[in-house]
Structure 1
Amino acid sequence: MLRRFHSPENLFIDGCDSVEEIFDLQVLINVEQRLAVTASQLRVVRLTNLPHLKHVWNRDPQGILSFHNLCTVEVEGCLGLRSLFPASIALNLVQLEELQIDTCGVEEIVAKDEGLEEGPEFLFPEVTDLHLVKLPELKRFYPGTHTSEWPRLETLRVYHSEKIEIFPSEIKCSHEPCREDHVDIEGQQPLLSFRKV
């Protein structure tokens, strides 16, 4: 299906109780491991009221399929969803402008990829709006040491998401100097950090 429908620019799915996965990449990865990268033309993805959704992408496409044209991603009412993006997709969202996650079971925005080197750098050069609303299970952006940059971020809305730290705390490490990429006791980093200029 992905090969046949790689041209659509908008994907809207609403109120489908039985949907568990949006993109089944397992077959694509098995068949096309040695073929050229396929670029999806998707620009807008809106997923709402999908209570049994477990995965938007059921596997990390590992560079076989690119979603670099995504501009808007909105996910709402998906209580079974634990993470939104595989790492390889999140590393290539260069045109993303708006990310909204509302009333979901998301624990992390980007899932860990065991094949990814330590300390990945997530760059979102065009994101102006980031909304994380009613995400009681959200603990982290990515499970591990990483950096993320949001140079054009204008609107940040985070509420009813008490488990995630938004900005670095002022707590200093007692046994060694703290670094900018300080990870707290539970291995979590704040969603946003600041660099000294």
Structure 2
Amino acid sequence: MLVLKRMTSLQVRDCEPLEEIFDLEGLEAVDCTQVLPRLWHLDLVNLPKLRQLWNRDLQGTMCFNSLGHLSLYKCSNLRHAFVPSMAQCLPNLQQMEIKECDQMEGVIADEEGQGRAVEEITFPNLWQITLECLPNLTSFLLWKNHMLECPILSKLSIAHCPKMRSLTWQSSMEIDNGTPSLFTPQVQCPKLEWMVLSHMDNLSKIWSDDPQETLTFDNFRKCRFRIVRGLKMCFRIGWLQV
């Protein structure tokens, strides 16, 4: 693979046959740190056959530790963006935008035979998440018994994701026995300030029964709901007084 030490931005668009972005086969873990060490912005647009961003599990090696902005748009064959161990390779990711990826079921998902056990997935510098027009997305973290931590996330926008009920994976039994909430104790985002939820047909509950397990409302400034037909309640007065 060509080593480009000075490249900070990469855009790949309108390449119909393309199935993967980075071919990491043959690279040792030590070599991975030398690949695109300054890449800050990755923008993937209209890649209808894209199956994966890279073709090898890096087992936690910080290969893309400069990447700050990731944008996926019209990658209609992409079922997920990362497996859990790959997500751990993005410690400086600040903004994530995923739009019009028709087959995406989860942003982070487990694949049989890949990855390793990860108890907690952390994006320490992620402050903005935008998810739009993802008709098959069911959750952000499509992997059971694991946690998602975004300690400085301040902006969250989710629109036109009709199948999404929760940010974390929910079993069919959990769905049948109760009403899953968008935020669960497995999602930690204590600094959330701004949230927009629009056209989410399956969403009926935003917070767990005790939202203080997930976040405080000290930083909350703006919340907008638009055409969320199944939503039963926004806030309880007691939460806002805490």
Distance 1:116 1:190 in 2: 27
Alpha-carbon distance change, 93 to 80 in structure 1, aligned in 2, over 3 angstroms: same
- The reply to whether residue 121 of structure 1 matches residue 120 of structure 2 is yes
Q: Which of 21, 33, 38 is matched with 1:38 structurally?
A: 33
TM-score (norm 2): 0.64
Identity of aligned residues (%): 31
- Corresponding position of 2:44: 47
| Structure whose CA Rg is larger | 2
Aligned-residue Cα RMSD (Å) equals 2.8
Alpha-carbon contact 2:60-2:88 (below 8 Å) kept: no
Change (3 A) 1:65 1:128: closer
- Counterpart residue identity of residue 184, structure 1: S
Look up the SS of the partner of 2:26 in the other structure: helix
> Cα 1:63–1:127, aligned 2, differ >3 Å: closer, same or farther?
closer
**Residue in structure 1 matched with residue 57 of structure 2 by the alignment:** 60
Tell me the residue number matched to 2:106.
108
Offset of 1:69 from its aligned partner?
A: 1.4
Aligned residues: 178
Structure 2 match to 1:20: 19
For the residues of structure 1 that align with 2:24 and 2:174, how far apart are their CA atoms? 30
Taking structure 1 as reference, are residues 95 and 187 closer, same or farther at Cα in structure 2, changes over 3 Å only? farther
Structure 2 residue identity aligned to 1:9: T
- Amino acid in structure 2 at the alignment position of 1:112: D
Report if the CA contact (8 A) 2:83-2:115 is conserved: no
- Structure 2, unaligned stretches of length 5 or more? 186-211, 217-242
Q: Secondary structure at the match of 1:93?
A: coil
Q: Which ranges of structure 1 fall in alignment gaps of 5 or more residues?
A: 169-181
C-alpha distance after superposition, 1:121-159 (max 9, x if no partner): 111222121011111111232322211112222221111
| Native 8 Å contact 1:96 1:126 kept in 2 | yes
Q: Show structure 1 runs of 4+ deviating over 3 A.
A: 186-192
Deviation (angstroms), 1:27:
3.0
